[in-house]
Structure 1
Amino acid sequence: MMLFWSYVKCKYLDVQQARTVSMTVNGNFHCPQTCNGGNCNSSTGACFYCFSGTYNDYCAEACPDNCKDSVCERKFGNCFDCNPGWYGDRCYQGCSQNCSGMSCERTTGNCFGK
């Protein structure tokens, strides 16, 4: 279940509840507070842009811990680059200890220079 904080209700809400709250504050449409720039789809409440470090339609999920600079792709949370020592789409796999400096290629995990 995806959760995010709502300052409107001061409690955690699941995405369906958040969509309802975000569209009906004071009887007017409001985007979820998790949307960077406050812009979203007026039909679904899905954010157009997320704050750095978050992803999904409502920017309610944190990017994986090993994404470099906590930056990930908005829709699915795949990392653009990994912190040293990690590889894979979401940087959950550790580079081989045989890699110099524990650095490896992000998509394959192959050591650099080999």
Structure 2
Amino acid sequence: MAEDEARRISDRTKAALAAYKARGGKLGTPANLTSDAARRGTEATRAKARTADAALLSEMKRWQEAGLSYRQIAGCLNGVGSTTRTGAAWNHNQVKRVLTRAGV
């Protein structure tokens, strides 16, 4: 029963979009598909990463200078309750990326 309703909704949606397109309507946002928009998006993502990394970078450098491995640094960050900017637990690859981005 639910599958039938889902199929009917899908069919109605497809028909409505096809009718809109037939009337000359534009689907999507073409302005977001330009190379300039992609470049700006990449820059914004990198800026967010740099901002998030800056808060922990000095601590990471200190631990690295003390001889800790990337995996051990990740363990320290997780131990103090720190998370990545997406809310996930730290792992060695993320620590390496942060330090590499910072030129360490």
TM-score w.r.t. structure 1 length?
0.26
Greater relative contact order: 1 or 2 (C-alpha under 8 angstroms, separation 6 or more)? 2
Higher strand proportion, which one?
1
Indicate the structure with greater helix content. 2
Structure whose CA Rg is larger: 2
